Amino acid sequence: MLASLREKLARTRDAFRKVGGLFRSGRRRDEILDGLEEALIQADVGVPASERIVTDLRSSTEKDEDEGGLERALKTELVALLSSPAPGPAANGGPTVILMVGVNGGGKTTSAAKLAARHKRAGRRVVMAAADTFRAAAQEQLAVWGKRLGIPVIRGSYGADPAAVVFDAARSFKAQQGDVLLVDTAGRIHTNTNLMAELEKVRRVAARELAGARIESLLVLDATVGQNAVVQAREFMKFSGLTGIFLTKIDGTAKGGAAIAVVAELGLPILYLGVGEGEDDLVDFSPREFVEALLS
């Protein structure tokens, strides 16, 4: 798994070469730490997170720490930073509703399909809801995925109330005695407060119609947008139901360091990485494997 992740993170790892190079530069500890903050910022970790990391390393390492000790300390720091508490398993194995939220173009629909495929392979009964009613292409894309995977997709008419689609999907889900309901939501403009109110309404309808079900809300972030992912995440934090992050397109960018910035600033756990366009291109996020892949 680690070797595969190293390959998938090749471009982001290239962005971290300057970080790794500092630990093989023959410089003293303070000189390495002086250069580390700039190297992390250039690797898209962001200013606040980079300052925090270097400050912690200054206080946690000795004045005469050698290069190997500093590198191990950095890895430990990054793993700890990325290890935000993840939500626990659904109680009693009951039904789960997963809302996929985020801006348009971030990969919500494909990510929903990947999760649907995984749950179906695990023997769970899955239903998908096309609640992005403002983009006909999103509904069509989810319907194509549903046909390919053999998973029912509940749709509404163009421009319909997304909450009404979720209402219909919840009724169908109960009738089919489903295990996992995946909801592809709209993401027209991440600064639009009406969108946040719409997401809250969708969540309320799902919770009401499927009383007792676990409700998860995954923020889908496109890794290729770098620090803008932090801006997007900050706006979507106004929607109070977020439980974790699904980071997409991590295989095609040098800006994957932004994952560290998002977790450091917002405290949301990364749960999944999207590493391709296929239904199997989904990786459970492991902070240790991620850090080893970046700094190997």
Q: What domains appear along the chain, each with residue ranges and CATH number?
A: 2-82 (1.20.120.140), 91-242 (3.40.50.300)
- If we measure between CA atoms, which residue out of 10, 22, 199, 170 comes closest to residue 102? 199
Phi-psi region of 136 (alpha: psi -120 to 50; beta: other; left: phi over 0): alpha
Separation of CA 150 from chain center: 25
Q: What is the pLDDT of residues 112-131, one digit of tens each?
A: 999 999 999 999 999 999 99
Q: Which pLDDT belongs to residue 91?
A: 45
Separation in Å, CA 292 to CA 19, 32, 72, 76, 220:
13, 20, 10, 10, 23
Give 202's pLDDT tier (boundaries 50, 70, 90): very high
Helix count (H) and strand count (E) of the chain?
13, 8
Q: Which residues contact 86 (CB under 8 A, 6 or more apart)?
A: 244, 269, 271
- If we measure between CA atoms, which residue out of 22, 16, 23 comes closest to residue 43? 16
Question: Exposure pattern of 235-249 as b/e (b: 16+ CB <10 Å)?
Answer: bbeebebbbbbbbbb
For residues 274 and 246, the answer to whether their CB atoms sit within 8 Å is yes
Q: Which pLDDT belongs to residue 233?
A: 85
The listed range with the strongest mean pLDDT (93-97, 192-196, 244-248, 262-266) is: 244-248
Give 237's pLDDT tier (boundaries 50, 70, 90): confident
Q: What is the pLDDT of residues 12-25, one digit of tens each?
A: 888 899 999 999 88
Q: Which pLDDT belongs to residue 53?
A: 95
Phi-psi region of 192 (alpha: psi -120 to 50; beta: other; left: phi over 0): beta
Q: Return d(Cα 290, Cα 198) in angstroms, integer.
A: 34
Structure tokens at 222: 């496109």
Q: What is the pLDDT of residues 141-177, one digit of tens each?
A: 999 999 999 999 999 888 889 999 999 999 999 999 9
pLDDT at 89 over 70: no
Side-chain half-sphere CA neighbours of 258 within 13 A = 22
- If we measure between CA atoms, which residue out of 285, 292, 282 comes closest to residue 262? 285
- If we measure between CA atoms, which residue out of 291, 294, 296 comes closest to residue 75? 291
Model confidence, pTM: 0.90
Q: Return d(Cα 233, Cα 190) in angstroms, integer.
A: 9
Cα torsion 3, 9, 11, 17: sign: negative
